[in-house]
């Protein structure tokens, strides 16, 4: 690469986090630390029924018996779980806002800075935003419209009160409280999250979306999302997030559970742009997430799409359990690491039912000192006749100090199964660059063009509003990375 | 860890006997290696499926048994061994019975100058032998319990040394026969192959043994290919039906060297092949080629590690598995490209054909890349015989089993055709056909 392009590169690599600002709102926080009392207090603060408290305590007691897993291909200093504040909610005037006017104007300002269309924009964009600001949901739009159709889209804490039967039935049915270290921690102390229920035969008329944002200093955010699509229902759910800049690493351990019954379809899209730490890897979010969907019914369909550009460490494997016959699981991912970011991400596709199909497309981009790992498991069980899997994971290296790693696990126990796995690692070719340059395209533009082309297969899967944002996000976070 | 002091007792006794004072074949340099390796083995213990590297292979059958070293069964006749030997004119044929060199069965023709082929035990006690400067330098035992065990108990095996500029055209054949006595026997052959600068050589290792009773083979081969050397290595596994075979081939390559290693596995009940190379010089090339054809409840685990430590090296891996009955084939391939190993070109392919509903295949093709100017790809497929191709062949009048055999043969021929020794290739083809015909179930004839 020429000197000129190296300069652009440097400039891009120096690019700092755009969304770094802290909103000054009084937070109603607990002192840092984790104990049985804290778990009880969180439950009490949220006025939870007895069964929730019991579930949390079960998780907490199990958590005490577990040790932190060390197998992922990431490096971070030990986390002191007693230094984390486990609950923080923005102070509310009275009983909570009933309309947008009642929402703290500073909060609205924050959203505006982030360009989130919460108020009128929301209607224009046709998006119902259940915005999670730190831990408590402060505004929910389009609720009436959705409830006419019987769709429940509300904060988790509300669902616990209003729909305890559904919560009892489905909470922990996909990710049990004993699943893994971080899921267990989440089960014990989860603050809030979203709950979506689409009744039989209903197609959700709009994209459901929620923005998670970590705000109060030192608050680990532990949200929990549960989406249930009944027979024949379909829903597309978007999750996007940005976080303010800060120096201490913040732990984020979320759990997402999806249940798709017969003929149901769930599409779950994520844009993750949390604070990745500065150039030297100081600060940044630890994003340790458990996401799992279960295609429980026949012909059900779960699709995960993710664009991961933020966080100091990303560690997550959105998975599908393909239990119902003819069910389909999909995973589309773009993971981008710059500076000192590390990502260990991928998916698990577990084929149990007959004629189940799964597709995995993963694109990893590493720049600066970034380390990007794809880790994926394809498991085809004995009864999964005619199961079919296609996996493609491509890595692109921008710069000579970054790394790209691929660790697929393929287990096949059925002879009628067909599975293919392909992986490639490459860099932007000098000839590609030269071609663009001689056509008058600047190196910077050419890089972003090529990278966007590289990710196109995934972006195509994103809902319209997100696709634009994703493209922009990628440009910002990778700017200047070809070496 | 499974290893307890009680379980390692048999190895303990043998290790003590080997490293005792005044024992022949125990020079100081070797004694310290043996002792260090044994200490490491005791620390590590036998691996369990909790280990990432042993996730799919359970070695409990080896760990829980008391295998003894030095027990022997019926020594085979020359006729029995002849089915395993190469018809080709070999430069040398060394036969090892239960891991020990057998002069009676071996034949060393007059070798060209600069070529040494002898037993390792002999080389160790020979004055001025280069063994000390190469042995146990490359097959590290820090993380590998079985290599540590082999190193701790190393005693005999083959030593092949080709000096600078020497070209040995005819292959060297090393045959390891296990007599499989009633008592559980273990043999731990240790081989050292050194190809000096610009030399060329071909080595065939055949592992075989009697059927019927369980025995344990733990073999380690170190292959050093110095600058510009060309080495072809073949490992043919035709172990007895109840054999437990753990093998480790560790290659070390320097500038412009070219190593091709083939691993063909047909026998044994539990087989693990660790194959590794360190490309430690620019312009090195390595090709790993493998075929495993399994039946019954055989379990074969091929574990490859290609370490691109220096720039401009090429590596190619192609492993194919044909799995019948309730057999299980495991493949792990890992390519590591170190920080400055630019212009690396690595390719890795694993393909599995499942012939029965109970067969299982696990594949872990991994890439770990720390340099940016590299071309690395890997691919893995698991599937069954293509039904369109079957239909086509049947529509042309082939019966079902002939069509299937033809397709399986075509699948395997990619690997078989790379075998450059004619007689060895036809031997492998015969094995392949025998296996295919055995695999036919009467019900399928219609």
Predicted local distance difference test score (pLDDT) of residue B298: 94
- Could you tell me if A184 and A66 are in contact, meaning their C-beta atoms sit under 8 angstroms apart? yes
Question: Is B148 found in the same domain as B31?
Answer: yes
In a domain, B318, yes or no: no
CA dist A314 → A85, A320, B142 (Å): 21, 19, 31
Q: Is residue B289 part of a domain?
A: no
What's the CA gap between A139 and A127, in Å, rounded?
13
Examine the domain organization and report whether B69 and B205 are in the same domain.
Answer: yes
Q: Which pair of structure tokens corresponds to residue A234?
A: 């379909």
Pairwise CA distance, residues A338 & A315, whole Å: 15
Range in A15-24, B44-53, B282-291 with the lowest mean pLDDT? A15-24
Residue-level pLDDT at A336: 85
Instruction: Write out the H or E segment, with its range, that includes residue B191.
Output: strand B190-195
Task: Please check whether residues B256 and B115 belong to one and the same domain.
Answer: yes
- Locate A186 and state its tokens: 């989440």
Q: Tell whether B342 is within 8 A of chain A (Cβ).
A: yes
Is the Cβ of A383 closer than 8 Å to some Cβ of chain B?
Answer: no
Contacts of B342 by beta carbon, 8 Å cutoff, 6+ apart: A400, B311, B312, B371, B372, B373, B374
B413 in A contact zone (CB under 8 Å): no
Distance between start and end Cα atoms, chain B: 51
Amino acid A128: pLDDT: 47
**pLDDT, mean of residues B232-248:** 94
Q: Which of B294, B368, B372 to mutate to test the interface with A (most CBs of A within 10 A)?
A: B372
CB contact under 8 A, A417 and B382: yes
One domain for residues B274 and B391? no
CB B152 within 8 A of CB B38: yes
CB within 8 Å of B243: residues ≥ 6 apart: B178, B180, B209, B214, B215, B216, B217, B267, B268, B269, B270, B271
Contacts of A409 in chain B (CB under 8 A): 362, 364
B287 part of a folded domain: no
Going from the C-alpha of B149 to that of each of A298, A414, B26, the distances in angstroms are 52, 36, 17
Question: Under an 8 A CB cutoff, do A425 and B375 touch?
Answer: yes
Does the CB of A416 have a partner CB in chain B at under 8 Å?
yes
Give A382's contacts in chain B (Cβ within 8 Å).
357
B421 occurs within a structural domain: yes
B371 contacts on A by Cβ (under 8 Å): 397, 400
Does some domain include residue B276? yes
Is A50 an 8 Å CB contact of chain B? no
Among B258, B280, B302, residue at a domain's last position: B280
What are the two backbone dihedrals, phi and then psi, of residue A357, each rounded to the nearest 5 degrees? Answer: -130, 145
**C-alpha–C-alpha distance, residues B423 and B429, integer Å:** 10
Residue B361 inside a domain? The answer is no
Cα→Cα distances A179→A225, A228, B233, Å: 16, 20, 46
pLDDT of residue A80: 80
pLDDT at A15: 57
Express each pLDDT in B3-45 by its tens digit: 444 444 788 888 888 888 777 778 888 999 999 999 999 999 9
ipTM: 0.72
- Give strand pairing partners of B108: B92
- Residue A17 contacts by C-beta under 8 Å, 6 or more apart in sequence? A245, A275, A276, A278
Do B194 and B69 share a structural domain? yes
Which one-letter DSSP state was computed for residue A221?
Answer: B
Question: CA-to-CA distance for A258 and A237, rounded, in angstroms?
Answer: 11
Structural domain that includes position B401: 387-446
CB of A421 within 8 A of CB of B379? yes
For residue B6, what pLDDT is reported? Answer: 47
Residue B403 confidence (pLDDT): 93
Below-70 pLDDT ranges, chain A: 1-29, 88-144, 210-220, 241-249, 281, 465, 476-483
Whether pLDDT at B174 is above 90 = yes
Q: Is residue B260 part of a domain?
A: yes
For residue B280, the 8-state DSSP code is -
Domain boundary among B250, B280, B310: B280
The reported pLDDT for the residue numbered A269 is 87
Distant-in-sequence, close-in-space partners of A105: CB < 8 Å, separation ≥ 6: none
**Which residue among A397, A405, A410 sits closest to B362, beta carbon to beta carbon?**
A410
**Greatest distance between any 2 Cα atoms in chain A:** 69
d(CA B38, CA B47): 15
What is the domain count for chain B? 2
Q: What is the Cβ-side half-sphere exposure of residue A214, based on CA atoms within 13 angstroms?
A: 32
- Comparing CA positions, the residue from A351, A345, A268, A357 lying closest to residue A305 is A268
User: How many residues in total does chain B contain?
Assistant: 446
Residue finishing a domain among B280, B298, B313: B280
Distance set, CA A215 to CA A126, A243, A268, B180, B264 (Å): 26, 7, 24, 69, 59
Residue A142: the pLDDT is: 63
pLDDT tens for residues B110-145?
788 889 999 999 999 887 788 989 999 998 888 899
| Residue-level pLDDT at B308 | 94
Q: Check if the beta carbon of residue A48 is closer than 8 Å to that of residue A176.
A: no
Average pLDDT, chain B: 89
Is A399 in contact with B372 (Cβ distance < 8 A)?
Answer: yes
Burial of A164 (0-12, 13-18, 19+ CB in 10 A): middle
| pLDDT tens sequence across B56-99 | 999 998 888 888 888 888 888 888 888 888 877 788 999 999 98
pTM assigned to the model: 0.79
Size of interface A-B (CB pairs under 8 A): 112
- Among left, alpha and beta (phi > 0; psi -120 to 50; other), residue B94 is beta
> Nearest-CA residue of chain B relative to A377?
B364
Q: State residue A20's pLDDT score.
A: 55
Task: Tell me, yes or no, whether B139 and B272 share the same domain.
Answer: yes
What is the predicted pLDDT for the residue at A229?
A: 92
CA distance A390 to A358: 7
Characterize the bridge pairing of strands B190-195 and B215-225. parallel
């Amino acid at each position: 690469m020429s000197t000129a392009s190296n300069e652009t590169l440097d400039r891009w690599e120096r690019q700092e986090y755009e969304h770094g600002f802290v909103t000054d709102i009084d937070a109603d926080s607990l002192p840092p630390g984790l104990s049985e009392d804290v778990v009880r207090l969180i439950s009490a603060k949220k006025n939870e029924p007895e069964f929730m408290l019991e579930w949390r305590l079960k998780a907490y007691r199990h958590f005490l018996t577990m040790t932190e897993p060390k197998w992922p291909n990431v490096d971070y200093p030990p986390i002191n779980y007693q230094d984390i504040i486990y609950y923080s909610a923005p102070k509310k005037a009275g009983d909570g806002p009933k309309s947008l006017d009642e929402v703290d104007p500073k909060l609205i300002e924050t959203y505006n800075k982030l360009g989130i269309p919460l108020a009128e924009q929301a209607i224009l964009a046709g998006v119902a935003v259940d915005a999670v600001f730190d831990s408590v949901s402060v505004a929910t739009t389009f609720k009436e419209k959705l409830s006419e159709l019987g769709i429940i889209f509300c904060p988790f804490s509300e669902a616990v009160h209003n729909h305890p039967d559904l919560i009892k039935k489905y909470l922990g049915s996909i990710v049990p409280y004993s699943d893994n270290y971080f899921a267990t921690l989440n089960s014990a102390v989860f603050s809030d999250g979203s709950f979506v229920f689409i009744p039989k035969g209903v197609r959700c008329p709009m994209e459901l979306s929620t923005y998670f944002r970590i705000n109060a200093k030192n608050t680990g955010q532990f949200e929990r999302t549960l989406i249930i699509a009944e027979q024949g229902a379909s829903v597309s759910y978007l999750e996007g997030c940005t976080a303010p800049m800060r120096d201490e690493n913040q732990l984020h351990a979320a759990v997402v559970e999806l249940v798709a019954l017969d003929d149901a379809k769930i599409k779950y899209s994520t844009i993750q742009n949390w604070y990745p730490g500065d150039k030297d890897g100081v600060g940044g979010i630890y994003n340790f997430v458990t996401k799992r969907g279960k295609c429980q019914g026949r012909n059900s369909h779960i699709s995960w799409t993710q664009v991961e550009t933020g966080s100091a460490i990303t560690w997550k494997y959105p998975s599908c359990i393909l239990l119902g016959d003819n069910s389909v699981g999909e995973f589309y991912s773009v993971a981008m690491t710059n500076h000192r970011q590390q990502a260990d991400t991928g998916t698990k596709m577990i084929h149990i039912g007959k004629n189940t199909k799964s597709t995995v497309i993963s694109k990893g981009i590493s720049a600066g000192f970034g380390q990007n790992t794809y880790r994926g498991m394809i498991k085809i069980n004995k009864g999964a006749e005619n199961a079919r899997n296609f996996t493609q994971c491509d890595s692109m290296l921008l710069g000579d100090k970054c790394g790209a790693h691929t660790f697929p696990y393929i287990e096949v126990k059925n002879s009628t199964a067909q599975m293919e796995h392909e992986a490639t690692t490459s860099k932007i070719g000098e000839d590609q660059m030269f071609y663009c340059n001689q056509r008058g395209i600047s190196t910077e533009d050419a890089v972003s063009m090529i990278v966007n082309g590289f990710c196109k297969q995934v972006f195509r899967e994103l809902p319209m509003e997100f696709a634009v944002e994703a493209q922009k996000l990628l440009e910002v976070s990778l700017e200047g990375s070809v070496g | 860890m499974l290893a307890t002091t009680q379980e390692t007792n048999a190895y303990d006794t043998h290790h003590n006997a080997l490293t005792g004072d005044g024992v022949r074949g125990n020079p100081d340099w070797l004694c310290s290696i043996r002792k260090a390796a044994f200490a490491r083995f005791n620390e590590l213990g036998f691996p369990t499926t909790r280990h990432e590297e042993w996730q799919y292979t359970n070695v409990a059958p080896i760990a829980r048994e008391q295998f003894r070293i030095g027990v022997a069964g019926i020594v085979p006749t020359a006729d029995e061994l002849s089915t395993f030997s190469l018809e080709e004119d070999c430069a040398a044929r060394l036969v090892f019975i239960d891991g020990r060199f057998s002069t009676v069965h071996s034949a060393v023709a007059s070798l060209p100058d600069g070529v040494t082929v002898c037993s390792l035990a002999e080389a160790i006690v020979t004055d001025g032998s280069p063994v000390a400067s190469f042995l146990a330098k490359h097959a590290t035992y820090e993380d590998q319990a079985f290599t540590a065990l082999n190193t701790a108990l190393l005693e005999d095996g083959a030593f092949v040394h080709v000096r600078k500029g020497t070209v040995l055209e005819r292959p060297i054949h090393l045959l390891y026969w296990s007599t499989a006595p009633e008592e559980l026997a273990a043999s731990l052959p240790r081989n050292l192959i050194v190809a000096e600068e610009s030399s060329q050589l071909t080595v065939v290792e055949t592992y075989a043994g009697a059927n019927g009773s369980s025995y344990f083979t733990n073999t380690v081969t170190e292959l050093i290919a110095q600058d510009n050397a060309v080495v072809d290595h073949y490992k043919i596994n035709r172990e007895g039906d109840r054999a437990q075979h753990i093998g480790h081939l560790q290659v070390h390559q320097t500038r412009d060297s070219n190593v091709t290693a083939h691993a063909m596995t047909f026998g044994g009940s539990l087989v693990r092949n660790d194959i590794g190379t360190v490309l430690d010089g620019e312009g090195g090339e390595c090709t790993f080629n493998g075929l495993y054809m399994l039946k019954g409840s055989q379990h074969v685990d091929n574990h490859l590690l290609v370490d691109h430590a220096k720039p401009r090296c090429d590596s190619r891996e192609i492993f194919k598995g044909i799995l019948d009955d309730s057999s299980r084939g495991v493949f792990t391939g890992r390519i590591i490209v170190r920080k400055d190993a630019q212009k690396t070109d690595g390719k890795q392919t694993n393909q599995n054909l499942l012939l029965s509903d109970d067969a299982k295949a696990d594949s872990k093709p991994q890439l770990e890349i720390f340099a940016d100017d590299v071309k690395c790809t890997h691919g893995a497929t698991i599937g069954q015989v293509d039904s369109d191709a079957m239909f086509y062949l049947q529509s042309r009048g082939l019966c079902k089993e002939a069509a299937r055999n033809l397709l399986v043969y075509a699948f395997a021929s990619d690997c078989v055709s790379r075998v450059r020794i004619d007689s060895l290739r036809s031997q492998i083809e015969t094995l392949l056909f025998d296996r295919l015909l055995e695999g036919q179930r009467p019900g399928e004839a219609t």
